[in-house]
């Protein structure tokens, strides 16, 4: 536990009250907002990456205590450590890390926590494995589990495997939350970077029912004339 105490001392030294206030507004931590009660110390992600490397040897019980914390930076550092450890692990260790990750979805409860971890742990682990868990997450009532499902497909997209991302996009196309609209649109845009035809095949059958934010994210890199045609429903 000495390492954990040292980490918390380092976090305290790096904290910035003014930046913390800005982050708490930016990440919607107010009453009734999606991250209600999340506490920030005001530490940048590059600083947190440095601390994650410094404390990469934390044991699993200490990582669990960090993930259980109400302090955002403690949870993110734990996830960054898991990501780094996953990269260096053999198959059995990768299984253990991905299982630990899935047991902690309740603690991966803001969009940056999801985005910086899901593709690199769960997505990577499932590349050559059955994808059933992604569909369970995609149909969850929990916002963050749905976003984990979407972002995990980024690992597949990077390997030019689009099927799962498109299936999950279809499942979530009528979701009510803006953060899901953005995530799905982002993954569609990433597909388009690698295969415009694959993205447009999906869009042509679905774009009129997509939430506006999802569509805007998906077509952000299109030539302006084509982008406007989609926005006006003229495709």
* Positions in the chain short of pLDDT 50: none
Q: Which two three-digit tokens encode residue 218? A: 């998906």
Integer Cα distance of 156 and 162 in angstroms: 7
Q: What is the reported pLDDT for 110?
A: 97
| Residue 28, phi-psi category: left (phi > 0), alpha (psi -120 to 50), beta (remainder) | left
| Torsion-angle region of 32 (φ positive above 0: left; ψ -120 to 50: alpha; else: beta) | left
- pLDDT tens digits for 39-74? 999 999 999 999 999 999 999 999 999 999 999 999
Distance (Å, whole) CA 104 – CA 101: 5
184: Cα separation from own chain's centroid: 11
Q: Is the pTM of this model over 0.75?
A: yes
User: At the topology level of CATH, where does 118-235 sit?
Assistant: 1.25.10
Give the tens place of pLDDT for each residue, 8-25.
Answer: 999 999 999 999 999 999
Q: Which pLDDT belongs to residue 3?
A: 73
The neighbouring-strand residues paired with 39 are 71
Domain range 1-90, CATH class: mainly alpha
- Domain assignments of the chain as residue spans, ordered by start: 1-90, 118-235
Asked whether 117 and 79 are in contact (CB, 8 A), the reply is yes
């Amino acid at each position: 536990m000495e390492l954990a105490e040292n980490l918390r001392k380092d976090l305290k030294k790096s904290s910035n009250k003014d930046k913390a206030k800005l982050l708490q507004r930016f990440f919607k931590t107010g009453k009734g907002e999606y991250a209600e009660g999340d506490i920030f110390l005001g530490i940048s992600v590059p600083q947190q990456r440095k601390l994650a490397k410094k404390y990469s040897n934390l044991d699993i019980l200490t990582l669990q205590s960090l993930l259980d914390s109400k302090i955002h930076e403690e949870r993110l550092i734990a996830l960054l450590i898991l990501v780094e450890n996953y990269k260096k692990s053999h198959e059995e260790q990768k299984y253990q890390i991905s299982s630990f990750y899935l047991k902690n979805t309740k603690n991966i409860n803001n969009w940056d926590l999801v985005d910086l971890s899901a593709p690199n742990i769960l997505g990577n682990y499932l590349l050559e494995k059955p994808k059933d868990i992604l569909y369970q997450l995609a149909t969850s009532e929990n916002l963050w589990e749905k976003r984990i499902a979407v972002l995990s497909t980024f690992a597949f997209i990077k390997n030019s495997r689009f099927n799962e991302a498109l299936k999950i996009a279809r499942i979530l196309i009528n979701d009510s939350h803006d953060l899901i609209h953005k995530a799905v649109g982002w993954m569609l845009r990433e597909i388009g970077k690698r295969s415009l035809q694959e993205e447009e095949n999906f869009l042509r059958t679905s774009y009129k029912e997509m939430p506006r934010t999802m569509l805007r994210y998906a077509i952000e890199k299109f030539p302006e004339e084509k982008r406007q045609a989609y926005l006006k429903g003229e495709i």
